[in-house]
């Protein structure tokens, strides 16, 4: 499916899909993608998802002082990715709180889920303290899909 994915990814069925090609820089001497690099793929996908939803993080920071900070991340490694693999990162909203959100991400190769990530992200204001998510941001994130909760329950 990723053959059809544009550089900037796409939103579909309550999730955001972002394509990642594996290059030498991503691999290690075991011939596989180095374990820390899945976090890079996941962060690229989150950045492009926000951009796709109309949110430029730098602009958001300048205008409202809001920055996003990862508080906790759980990664499960099911199968390794390899050089030249054409991967897809699927991202969906797991929970939206007042000053925080939780995302589930999967790194996939065709129909196989290689790596699963679960992230707790806090919104901080200029003071460094938790800050309520701006309404426009909240609406944008929720627009990701109104079927999100149903999907999460169905897992």
Residues belonging to the active site: 28
Going by their DSSP bridges, the two strands 15-21 and 86-96 should be labelled as: antiparallel
| Tokens of residue 106, six digits | 């999967």
d(CA 2, CA 106): 14
d(CA 131, CA 126): 9
Q: Judged by CB under 8 A, which of 12, 62, 63, 76 binds a second copy? A: 76
Smallest distance from a second copy to CB 8, Å: 9
The interface region with a second copy, picked from 67-75, 105-113, 130-138, 142-150 by CB under 8 A, is 67-75
Q: Rounded to 5 degrees, what angle do the CA atoms 80, 85, 90 make?
A: 75
Is 47 among the residues that bind a second copy (CB under 8 A)?
Answer: yes
The residue among 14 and 44 lying less far from a second copy, judged by its C-beta, is 44
Q: Judged by CB under 8 A, which of 39, 53, 96, 152 binds a second copy? A: 39
Q: Judged by CB under 8 A, which of 15, 16, 17, 19 binds a second copy? A: 19
Is 99 among the residues that bind a second copy (CB under 8 A)?
Answer: no
107 three-class SS: strand
Closest to 23 measured CA to CA, from 86, 114, 89, 75: 86
Smallest distance from a second copy to CB 78, Å: 9
Do the beta carbons of residue 145 and residue 13 sit within 8 Å?
yes
Q: Which residues bind to a second copy, rule: CB under 8 A?
A: 5-7, 19, 21, 23-25, 27-32, 34-37, 39-40, 43-44, 47-48, 56, 58, 67, 69-77, 82-84
């Amino acid at each position: 499916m990723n053959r059809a994915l544009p550089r900037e990814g796409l939103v579909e069925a309550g999730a955001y899909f972002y394509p990642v090609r594996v290059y030498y820089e991503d691999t290690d001497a075991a011939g596989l993608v180095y374990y820390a690099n899945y976090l890079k793929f996941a962060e690229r996908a989150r950045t492009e998802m926000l951009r796709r939803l109309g949110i430029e993080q730098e602009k958001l920071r300048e205008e409202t002082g809001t920055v996003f900070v990862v508080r906790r991340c759980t990664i499960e490694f099911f199968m390794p990715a390899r050089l030249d693999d054409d991967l897809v990162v699927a991202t969906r909203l797991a929970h939206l709180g007042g000053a925080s959100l939780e995302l589930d991400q999967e790194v996939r190769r065709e129909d196989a889920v290689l790596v699963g990530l679960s992230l707790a992200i806090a919104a901080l204001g200029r003071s460094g303290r938790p800050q309520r998510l701006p309404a426009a941001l909240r609406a944008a994130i929720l627009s990701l899909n109104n079927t999100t909760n149903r999907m999460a329950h169905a897992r």
